[in-house]
Amino acid sequence: MAMRNEQVITQTSARAKPPIEYLTENGFSIVRRSDVDPSFSMDGPEHCFIVRDTDGYELEITVDILPGVVAEIIHRTRGRLSLASSYWINCAELHLAAYLWEHDDCPPNGSLQVDQLTLDDLDLATRWERGQQRLNR
């Protein structure tokens, strides 16, 4: 899988701007799969990322924000955030980064479920502007 991801990143980089990498303090690199492969959606509560560890090994990780969490955010923002908002990919990315920092390893089975909100999630959601509904960072 690591080889396939490197090929996608390399091929995409040759044609377009290189993807933005989110770097954790403990050396993991996170790239949004939608940044290197436009067939992956930026919408909705499920997002795929390519994670590279400090040894250069890459793994594809899916982060799924569970329906109860989505419903709570939509309720607390009075419906201002839709599933098309860029908030969801940002939230998924932050939860993945927090997991990598706390565990110093990728989630088992390449999957992470966000089943509860943090205060930071709520603060970010309430401050998220309508103009950021479709931003890529």
Query: What gap in Å lies between CA 132 and CA 129, rounded to an integer?
Result: 5
Distances in whole angstroms, Cα of residue 13 to Cα of each of 18, 30, 34, 53, 57: 5, 16, 13, 20, 19
Q: Stretch 47-56: mean pLDDT, rounded? A: 95
Q: Would you say residue 122 has pLDDT above 70?
A: yes
Please report which helix (H) or strand (E) contains residue 51, including its range.
strand 46-52
- As given in the structure block, the two tokens for residue 41 are 């959606």
75-99 pLDDT tens trace: 999 888 989 999 999 999 999 999 9
Q: Which residues contact 103 (CB under 8 A, 6 or more apart)?
A: none
For residue 4, the model assigns a pLDDT of 47
- Amino acid identity for residue 95 in this structure: H
For the chain, give every domain's residue range.
2-132
SS3 62: strand
